[in-house]
Amino acid sequence: MEESKQRIQFVYRRKRFGRDGAAGMDTGIGVDASDRISRLPDHVLHYILSYLPIGAVVRFSVLSKTWHRISTSFPVSDFSEDGLRLSKRREIQDWKNKFINFVQDSLLAQHHHNTRSRKFRLSMDLDPYDPQLTSRADRLLELAAKCGVSEFDLNFQNISHYLLPQALLSADEITVLRLNGDYKLSLPHHAINWPSLRVLSLMNVCVDEAILQNLISGCPLIEKLALVYCYGVKSIRISGCIKLKEVEVNEGDSVLERIEIHVPSLQTFCYTTGLVKSCFHIDMTGCRNLEGLKLKFYSITEEIGKVFQDLIAQFPALTVLALNCYATSVIRIKISNPQLEKLQLWSSALSKVTITSPSLHSFKHFIHGFPSAFSLDHSSLQKATISVHKGALYSYDFLQLREYLGNYNQIKRLTLRINFVGVRFIPEILNNISIPALPDIKHLKLKIFPCTSASGSLASLRDYRDIVDGLLWVCHPETVLLVSGWNYENEFIQILCEKLMQGGENQHCCTSSHIKCWRHDLKDIQIEHLQQNAEAKAFTCGTLLESLPNLGRGEKIRFIFNW
């Protein structure tokens, strides 16, 4: 079977575009080889075809009657022109006719052999100067609906206007409809009837309020609505959808000014904006049972930020909140939700953060600068993930990190991710700082991500040494978990082992300082290689360094510190 698959792939690479039997067409296949492959069972040939792009399958369908039968009976649900590179208009028209014929024959063959799929994805460029091509594409949708397809994913490009065909609007078995294309969507005057539709998604589509309202009103049992990069609509009003659970609005560069949602069943709302808004109104007072809220702002004013802070406080049942305030003018935020369990917060300019959520047990904070005032009620917090994106890290950044992590004392598990382009930690600069190292961080999972500097270089060994010294100056965890695999991960493990081998109370490393470094506080160290079978293999620093080149990617190494 593998040999046959390779032979067919070779045929595809050698075959030229053309009609069956056309003069000058080099199929790259001999008669005997073709006969041998054609005699394979259909299910074997279908398995081989599954490794080829749909364009290759289309081309095979015109080789012969046998290949036409085999190709069109191949259970395909994804028909896409992606990757096609033709320049001459005649070639393009010829190809599109073959492509549409293939899709049509495939749907008919699958229906005849009872191998039809409930999913149908059609992605192709239409021709604004060839209305017949659009009509043929519409007939494919009608045929797919008649063949029992219930999930449609349609991506039509290269047109400015598209009228959704009536055959699709009256297909009462449709459960999923996704429309993608940079065109203005129109609807026939007939009523929309989608009693079974559960998911409606519009992407890059131009719609107005009337069309959007007609679409929503035509699917009374809709459960998920997604409007992504849609333009032309200024106001979104949703009500009366008794089953609606999830709404996603990503306005991109649209002129959206108002959102009103009055749906008691709504569970999740996601909203993304990249525009500076001087005026915006959002009313979700009818969504008191909302459990998940995701807000992402690339650039908003503090006044509009206040609108969304007030919105967050409206949902007493809220358990999950994701808030991205990247590159905004918002400098302070207060979150107070008694039922909130999971919180994700991205911030770059926030200077004051107050979180009062006694039920919170998972918190992820992505920061580009440490807030000057940070208050976290973590009475129930069990784990936290902190991602630091600071570029270059200096001594006072580690001081800020120590002050910031002081809010996480008594937390059992802390994951710290550090993205950096360079590190310089000089403890003598901090000699007059009286804040002690944090002793109450129990289990620290450390991930480091060196970034390419402006000169094109990655982290140096000195960067890793300074990270070790800086972090162990910041806190004295009971355990540190590292993962092997990439070169920078193994280099960091190597540097940590070398520094631990230099440790000891008799060190003379701090003779010029009246404040001793972390080595003088460390009594003992144990190292474990955590196996997949939950067993732990003991290492010393020396044996770990010897084994490090042989460790696979994703191996977990745990350092146990006795301070």
List, for residues 459-491, the tens digit of each pLDDT value.
788 999 999 999 999 999 999 999 998 889 999
**CA 359/CA 362 separation, integer angstroms:** 9
Mean pLDDT score, 228-246: 93
On the question of pLDDT at 12 being above 60, the answer is no
Q: And the tokens for 510?
A: 């701090």
Q: Cβ–Cβ contacts within 10 Å for residue 488, how many?
A: 15
Residue 555 host element (H or E): none
Residue 141 pLDDT: 93
Q: 547 in helix, strand or coil?
A: helix
Confidence of residue 378 (pLDDT cuts 50, 70, 90): low
Among 81-85, 274-278, 303-307, 369-373, whose mean pLDDT is lowest? 81-85
Q: 126 in helix, strand or coil?
A: coil
Q: Which residue, chain included where needed, has tokens 């069972």? A: 41
pLDDT in tens, 188-220: 877 788 999 999 999 999 999 999 999 999 999
Q: Cβ–Cβ contacts within 10 Å for residue 435, how many?
A: 11
Per DSSP, 248 falls in state E
Sign for the pseudo-dihedral over CA of 39, 45, 46, 47: positive
Q: Rg of the Cα trace of the chain?
A: 31
Confidence of residue 11 (pLDDT cuts 50, 70, 90): very low
**CA 555/CA 163 separation, integer angstroms:** 55
| CA-based nearest residue to 415, from 378, 381, 460, 445 | 445
Interhelix angle 2-14/42-49, rounded to 10 degrees, is 60
Residue 163 host element (H or E): strand 161-163
In angstroms, the Cα distances linking 388 to 158, 219, 343, 401, 447 are 43, 45, 17, 9, 10
Residue 248 pLDDT: 97
**CA 122/CA 152 separation, integer angstroms:** 8
Phi, psi of 96 (to 5 degrees): -65, -35
Average per-residue pLDDT for the chain: 82
Q: Which residues pair with 424 in a beta bridge?
A: 394
Residue 332 pLDDT: 82
Mean pLDDT score, 253-261: 85
**CA 330/CA 306 separation, integer angstroms:** 8
Task: Please say whether the beta carbons of 126 and 93 come within 8 A.
Answer: no
Residue 18 pLDDT: 38
Residue 60 pLDDT: 65
Residue 4 pLDDT: 43
Per DSSP, 231 falls in state B
